[in-house]
Amino acid sequence: MTRVMALWWPDWPVHAARLAGHAGHGETVIVTGRGSTLHRVRACCPAARAAGVRRGMRLREARALVADCVVAATDPDTEELLFEDIVSSLNGVTFSVEVCRPGLVVIPVDVPATYFGDEDTACQKLIDAASFPGLDVRAGIADEITTAIIAARTSSVVPPGKSRQFLQPVSVGILLDEQSFDIDVPTVKNLQSVGVNTFGALAAISETAVSTRFGKAGVDCHRIAAARTQRAVAPPLGPEPPTVTVIPEQPVTRVDEAAFIARGLAQKLHRKLAADNLVCQRLKVTVTTVSGQDTGICERYWRTREPLTEQAIADRVRWQLDGWITSRTTATGGKPGTSSRTDVGITSLTLEPLECAPPDAGDGLWSVSRGNGASARRVAARVQSSLGMDKVLAPVAVGGISPVEQVAYTTWGETADTTTAGMPAGAQAGKKTRNRTPAAGPQPEPPTGLVDVPAAADDSGAVTDLRQIPRQVVDVTDCADMPRWPGRIPGPHPARRGGQAGRPDGRVELFGAGGAPVTVSAEALLSCAPAVICWQDNRLPVTGWAGPWPVDSNWWTPHPVHAARLQITAQETGGGGAGHAPPKAWLLLWSGGWWCVEACYS
């Protein structure tokens, strides 16, 4: 069995910011994210963590804890460029150094162990090559790539065959700490919410049960927990890999030229793989370089947990070429990104997929890796043209209190307005009329769901007649400080609307231990604890319940609707008597003095 070594540089974005000159080595550094996480902490130095700063924290809260911190924006290109020096140092000891992301590499230990005599000596050589002044590096060794990455966080060596025992006490939250795992965040949070907090607890559940409830994202988590991610760092090559090569007419010395070549070559490789119904999971990039009279070859290996898309391949090739051109040009005295020197350049570029596989059938109809999106859209358009525009519907996630309300259907090809879906009609009308200037003459009452407030006073602050101040309409549903859906049912959500075969689908009755019916009071309190659920001739004992969650609908109308929802589990009677069948769970709705089944859990 091939052993894997993972080398991890904690807080690499912080080190990259310091090496790039954005912060000094003695300063407290906080690195922010990009896009939607622009104002949140992506990484921070140990001093900031000691003060209470955590990943994902709002930047304003972090600054309140560390007032004199230096805030640096994340820069993936700089992180890749600076990490190139470390990878080059490791290549001096062994080959097949795979970059999972800047700050994390995995290496097969068998080959260097054979060369240096034993595993301990080989690992020490690799750690020495990875050690740079001011940079902390941690190593982990295990049988699987994912287990080695987790072991690196505690600098652990997992004995052969003991990966599952090592992972048992580890929290499933570590899946969110390592971005190279590419794990679905809501899935991990749902696992934690139902009490699955460790890998041992997750591995004890069958993969079939996890797949049924959490889908492919849950299976990915389960395989990591059960130490069954058996992909090798350097697997055997398949027959005739679809290698693509480009040889420019003149040596490439500019970063923008290299990026253009990388994009075209990645597109060519992606088309070849798609023609063979394959996706690439491990890629070898080979660059032939020239500097004066000297010629060299530079090789890098890239691996991702998810299949490499065309964009991902182009980005990784661009990062490598950018790093090589910049470092070589700077070393010879030129300016990076310029064409003033023609004796340093790239003469050929080769992309070779080292690990390919058929697309995962679990990716679904719209899988990016399978390339099904375009063909599925064409089929939907043809069906729509034959049957009518309103005959093809697409589900969209919208806002809502109940899980049933959080899925709506819209005509295929149209964009659903998820900002107003699920809102009361008055609030939807308010969003359309917000901030409009009132017309001259008598003004109608403001739309339902909105409140009237006076406009700002003049510079002196004096207000003499409120009736003379123009009114503004403010949409209370847009207030950031207000909960968007108060009373929203917590996850995990039911798997099916309504009931199912052999289950209640419609009205049911709940009774307490004394036989009294269970009702909901005006204060949203149960009259008694549920003990029995009944429908038709069925009568099942209740084994657990949660709630109720009250909902007041149409409260602005003369006839408001008061409702409540209740989660409940009951024990069915199996063939061998009560208690032999697994319990069933439903989401019940109390409305109009009756209980009914709104959804059921699988």
**Residue 341: what are its φ and ψ, rounded to 5°?**
-115, 135
Question: In this structure, how many other beta carbons lie within 10 angstroms of the beta carbon of residue 225?
Answer: 27
Tokens of 565: 């929802």
- pLDDT tens column, 428-476: 443 433 333 334 444 444 333 333 333 334 443 443 333 333 333 333 3
Note whether 592 and 504 are same-domain residues: yes
Instruction: Specify the range with the lowest mean pLDDT, choosing from 11-25, 40-54, 253-267.
Output: 253-267
Last residue of a domain, one of 358, 383, 402: 358
Structural domain contains residue 578: yes
Amino acid, res. 317: V
> What pLDDT does residue 336 have?
45
- pLDDT tens column, 377-403: 777 777 877 777 777 888 887 777 777
Rounded Cα gap, residues 84 and 499, in angstroms: 57
Structural domain contains residue 68: no
CA distances from 314 to 106, 127, 251, 260, 366 (A): 21, 30, 19, 9, 22
| pLDDT higher than threshold 80 for residue 142 | yes
pTM assigned to the model? 0.54
Crossing angle of helices 310-331 and 255-275, rounded to 10°: 150
Note whether 127 and 199 are same-domain residues: yes
Structural domain contains residue 485: no
- Which segment, 27-31, 411-415, 437-441, 445-449, is predicted with the most confidence on average? 27-31
Question: In this structure, how many other beta carbons lie within 10 angstroms of the beta carbon of residue 325?
Answer: 25
Report angle CA 172, 174, 179 to the nearest 5 degrees: 125
- The number of domains in the chain is 4
Minimal CA–CA distance to 14: which of 4, 22, 5, 3?
22
Note whether 367 and 346 are same-domain residues: no
Amino acid, res. 153: R
> What pLDDT does residue 369 have?
46
Percent of the chain with pLDDT over 70: 74
- pLDDT tens column, 269-309: 888 887 776 777 778 888 888 877 777 788 877 766 556 67
Rounded Cα gap, residues 536 and 539, in angstroms: 8
Minimal CA–CA distance to 560: which of 426, 457, 445?
426
- pLDDT tens column, 533-565: 887 778 888 888 888 888 877 777 887 778 888
> What pLDDT does residue 558 have?
82
Structural domain contains residue 195: yes
Cβ contacts of residue 38 below 8 Å, gap of 6+? 32
Q: Torsion over CA of 199, 203, 208 and 211, rounded to 10 degrees?
A: 10
Note whether 342 and 377 are same-domain residues: no
Cβ contacts of residue 118 below 8 Å, gap of 6+? none
| pLDDT higher than threshold 90 for residue 166 | yes
DSSP 580: S
Q: Are 13 and 79 in contact (CB under 8 A)?
A: yes
| pLDDT higher than threshold 70 for residue 181 | yes
Amino acid, res. 405: E
72, β-bridge pairs: 31
Question: CA 142, 146, 147, 149 torsion: positive or negative?
Answer: positive
Note whether 272 and 186 are same-domain residues: no
Report angle CA 347, 352, 355 to the nearest 5 degrees: 160
Please report which confidence band the pLDDT of residue 169 belongs to, taking 50, 70 and 90 as the band edges. very high
Q: Are 539 and 553 in contact (CB under 8 A)?
A: no
Cβ contacts of residue 576 below 8 Å, gap of 6+? none
Last residue of a domain, one of 342, 358, 374: 358
Looking at residue 352, which CATH number applies to its domain? 3.30.1490.100
| pLDDT higher than threshold 70 for residue 316 | yes
Structural domain contains residue 237: no
Note whether 122 and 145 are same-domain residues: yes
> What pLDDT does residue 333 have?
56
Q: Are 146 and 224 in contact (CB under 8 A)?
A: yes
Half-sphere exposure at residue 482, Cβ-oriented, CA atoms within 13 angstroms? 8
Note whether 220 and 89 are same-domain residues: yes
Structural domain contains residue 398: no
Note whether 353 and 367 are same-domain residues: no
> What pLDDT does residue 198 have?
92
Note whether 282 and 320 are same-domain residues: yes
Note whether 220 and 255 are same-domain residues: no
**Containing structural domain, residue 597:** 496-601
**Residue 355: what are its φ and ψ, rounded to 5°?**
-140, 110
Rounded Cα gap, residues 58 and 224, in angstroms: 30
Last residue of a domain, one of 170, 190, 225: 225
Structural domain contains residue 46: no
Note whether 166 and 272 are same-domain residues: no
Note whether 354 and 366 are same-domain residues: no
Structural domain contains residue 190: yes
**Residue 354: what are its φ and ψ, rounded to 5°?**
-95, -20
- pLDDT tens column, 468-516: 333 333 333 333 333 467 667 776 677 777 765 455 557 888 898 888 8
Minimal CA–CA distance to 590: which of 562, 557, 560, 559?
562
Cβ contacts of residue 462 below 8 Å, gap of 6+? none
